[in-house]
């Protein structure tokens, strides 16, 4: 089964989720510049995900796991925002997990060297 769409879907969803979180933080009275800078680091990770970088996939799965935890325990978020954040993080992680076979296929040699 072709799963190429899962990679593009994960990168798009995670980028849109990041834009929404940054936009929400910009409308708060006291937003940490460090937090905004940290969130801006997610965009290159999403781009690296499209380039089949296994490290980017691992970091994004960890990132989204922490995002799901924040969505569950952060009481300063409105309940609809908590649900939306948890849902998008879980769908993004699932799409990355479904695309993991693509990383194995990218790591195989196309033209093996003849050692004889």
Closest CA to 68 of 46, 83, 49: 83
> Quick one: pLDDT band at residue 116, thresholds 50, 70, 90?
low
Q: Is residue 9 part of a domain?
A: yes
Residue 69, domain extent: 4-103
Helix, strand and coil content of the chain, in percent to the nearest 5, comes to: 75, 0, 25
Q: Is residue 116 part of a domain?
A: no
Q: Tell me the backbone φ, ψ of residue 51, rounded to 5 degrees.
A: -90, 10
Query: Model pTM?
Result: 0.84
Q: How far apart are the C-alpha atoms of 29 and 55, rounded to whole Å?
A: 35
Cα 75 to chain centroid distance, Å, stands at 23
Look at the chain and report how many structural domains it folds into.
Answer: 1
How many Cβ atoms from other residues are within 10 Å of residue 4's Cβ?
Answer: 9
User: For the residues 88-103, what does the mean pLDDT come to?
Assistant: 93
């Amino acid at each position: 089964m072709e799963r190429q769409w899962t990679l593009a879907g994960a990168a798009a969803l995670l980028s849109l989720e990041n834009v929404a979180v940054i936009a929400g933080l910009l409308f708060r009275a006291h937003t940490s510049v460090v937090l905004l800078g940290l969130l801006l680091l997610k965009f290159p990770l999403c781009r690296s995900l499209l380039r089949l970088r296994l490290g980017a996939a691992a970091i994004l799965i960890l990132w989204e796991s922490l995002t799901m935890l924040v969505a569950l325990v952060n009481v300063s978020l409105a309940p609809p925002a908590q649900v939306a954040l948890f849902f998008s993080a879980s769908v993004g992680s699932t799409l990355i997990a479904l695309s993991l076979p693509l990383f194995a296929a990218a790591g195989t040699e196309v033209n093996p060297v003849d050692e004889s």
